[in-house]
Amino acid sequence: MIRFLILAFVLGAAALQTRPALPPLLWAWVLPLAFLLAIRAPRRVRQAALLLVALAAGFFYAAWRADLRLSEQLPALWEGRDVSLSGRVLDLPETTASGIRFVLAVETVSTPGATLPARVQLGWHGRPGEAVPRVRGGDCVQVLARLYRPHGNINPGGFDYEAWLLQRDIRATGGVVGLPTSASACGGDWRARLDHTREAIRGHLRAALGERPYSGVVRALAVGEQDAIPAAQWTLFRQTGVTHLMSISGLHITLFSALIYALAQALWRRLPGLALRLPARKAGALLGFAAAAAYTALAGFGIPAQRTLYMLAGAALVALLDRNGSPSRLLAAALAVVVLFDPWAAFAPGFWLSFGAVAALLWAGSGRLRPLPAWRTWLAAQWAVTLALTPLLLALFHEVSLVSPLANAFAIPLISLVAVPASLLAAVLPWEVFAVIAHTVVQVVMIGLEWLARLPQPVFHAATPSLPALLLALLGAAILLLPRGVPARWLGVFLFLPLLFPRLPAPAPGEAWLTVLDVGQGEALLLRTARHSLLVDAGPRFFSGEEAGSRIVAPYLWSQGINHLDGLILTHDDLDHSGGVAAVLASHRPDWFLTSLAGVPRASLGEAGQAILAARPDARPCVAGQTWAWDGVVFTLLHPPAHHYAQPGYSDNERGCVLRVDAAGHGALLTADIERLSEINLRERRQPLAADVLVAPHHGSLTSSSPEFLHAVAAKSIVIPVGHRNRYGHPHPEVLARYRSLAVPVWRTDRDGAVTLRLDRTGVEVESARAREKRYWRD
């Protein structure tokens, strides 16, 4: 019964993370009375009543913790103002494309009257070629910072950056003004020593491996420096299902602890004097747990590593007390400890995947009358984990690697049992040979992974499943993993069908859906008809070096069940529109590609523009007058005229592709970054500008949205794709005043998240992601 009570408590804590607001905590005082009534209830209802009390206890415990954490926030008065502060750098600073990013535990605030949260995340961004300041983990530094409350992009099925910050207790983010300087009198000496040790190990491994291609993987295995792994390698790991192997993970900590346990037990038995004082089993458990704790410390006590450490602590305690603990009880105890320490664990995919994998192994191994040979046990474990995690992977990431069982079959023993011990030996010993051995093992694994990734379809993508479809698939996995001899196990296959072949919502023939994604300061729009999908632009490249194509656009398309695009339009050669195009071209392979880049000489394009055209030599220029119809919806390009490509005086913005969409008697006008000159040109050429929906030109810049143009369009809804607190000041206050003077709804992606407009026969229905997915931690 205790296991079900723990599970109910965990589900209660997870349920809170779906709520739009925190409940009144006064209701928590009802729980003691509810518990007394439950234990005195008749036997038939007692267990159900206790489960409900445990569920409510988890819910209100998480609400209490959330209330405490949200009470510490940056006052609105101090947003965007320079504040002088000092503190200790936590963990290893992350190197970005233009600088560094680190978390600071605030010690003192020198600016009079300023009130700051205890932990903030800061970034320093320099110009190309500018020297990056040296900031190390554990350093005590003084900085002048400009801070803001947490804010992230909100897209259906997308990553929730604000929730990620909340889980890590980071209540403000911002940038460093000037350069950090050394400070003194910071607390946290033990953590500083740990982070300095990790910095020294990182430096030693960098020196030992130099520019070898997989040195980042070795550092990730030794000290958890995940940002040292290039994006292309992460993509390969994701495609082959081995992401969990390429940094410090629960699997590595468990196997390393088991290796130390076995070695210590074998050595202890050879020393009779020690074995008489402390049995070898207990000595092995103690040393194995100590090894796990040391490895977790090297990981910086990351949340995934902590989960494993709690479970191993329970196993070691059972051994020390001479008990034969049930594995399922140990799993439940670890689950309880994790959620008590971290009620936001449900935010982390690793929480569900790690506990789900262990639960699947326990379920698949139960009921066996005799042990299997080692090779069959290994294959059975791979089958159980793959089958059980497939529904979770599709729900969390919209994809599952089809080659994952093969990849893990050879990667787990090589990485966990060879590369990890070699990396740790390289971390504590001065000889470079161990680092080279670890790198060589990773290199061998990479050869196999690259071969698997070249197979015709290494990854299967599916739309975000509904909750009933997810639960049915998990039940199907449990049935399929029953012991041999159980009749009708094969029926579990049918329970996967709603997950793998969902019925997805789509516009009716003649109707269209327009989604303006929240990609920060940039633009990416998806147009859908009954059977076709068109993407217009793919968002920016960020200061961190990442881009919106792989981080936002592609995951959104997969979450909607769109694995292939019928067309792609890149309006012009600005990185806030083109930064993610290369990733989308690779992931969704559009049938055709229109772009203004194809109409100008290649030599006039930047490096990114030339790379895009090299990837798609069949790209054609967009020209006014091009038109096509999909499922009763008419698409018409209104700009630029063909002769604009021959005249060098036009800027990229003025040559932007302007698209009109007509569906169900309503029109939408997508205007890219055109400015006043193009607006005049469109009116002079008497283009059909009147539309129900206007995607604001140039993010609401003062150079666009002239009163004459707005009058010609006469939109009933305006959407501004714009980044939160962007450096350009978009949208301009004067332009906003013009929009408001029209007395029509104005939607902004920085405030509303992704905005979806449905053009159907009843009108234009507008829905924002922030309004649809309200959560208690969002402003």
Structure confidence by residue, pLDDT tens digits, 467-492: 999 999 999 999 998 887 788 888 89
Mean pLDDT lowest among 493-497, 548-552, 598-602, 743-747 = 598-602
Long-range Cβ pairs for the range 293-297 (8 Å, 24+) = 295/248, 295/252, 295/253, 295/256, 295/257, 295/424, 296/248, 296/253, 297/194
Structure confidence by residue, pLDDT tens digits, 53-81: 999 999 999 999 999 999 999 999 999 99
* Res 98: pLDDT: 81
* Res 325: pLDDT: 65
| DSSP-based three-state secondary structure for 662 | strand
Report whether 117 contacts 73 (CB < 8 A): yes
| DSSP-based three-state secondary structure for 569 | strand
Residue 663 to residue 660: CA distance in whole angstroms: 10
Structure confidence by residue, pLDDT tens digits, 184-195: 878 777 888 888
Q: pTM of the prediction?
A: 0.91
Backbone angles phi, psi at 391, to 5 degrees: -60, -40
- Residue 701 pLDDT more than 70? yes
Structure confidence by residue, pLDDT tens digits, 157-169: 899 999 999 999 9
* Banded pLDDT at 439 (limits 50, 70, 90): very high
* Res 716: pLDDT: 96
Contacts of 44 (CB under 8 A, 6+ apart): none
Instruction: Spell out a b/e string for 581-600, using b for 16 or more CB atoms within 10 Å of the CB, else e.
Output: bbbbbebbebeebbbbbbbb
Residue 573 to residue 80: CA distance in whole angstroms: 31
Residue 731 region by backbone torsions, left for phi larger than 0, else alpha for psi between -120 and 50, else beta: beta
- Residue 250 pLDDT more than 80? no
* Banded pLDDT at 367 (limits 50, 70, 90): low
* Res 149: pLDDT: 95
User: Which of 164, 27, 185 lies closest to 777, judged by CA?
Assistant: 164
- Residue 324 pLDDT more than 70? no
Report whether 182 contacts 139 (CB < 8 A): yes
The proportion of the chain whose per-residue pLDDT surpasses 90, expressed as a percent, equals 62
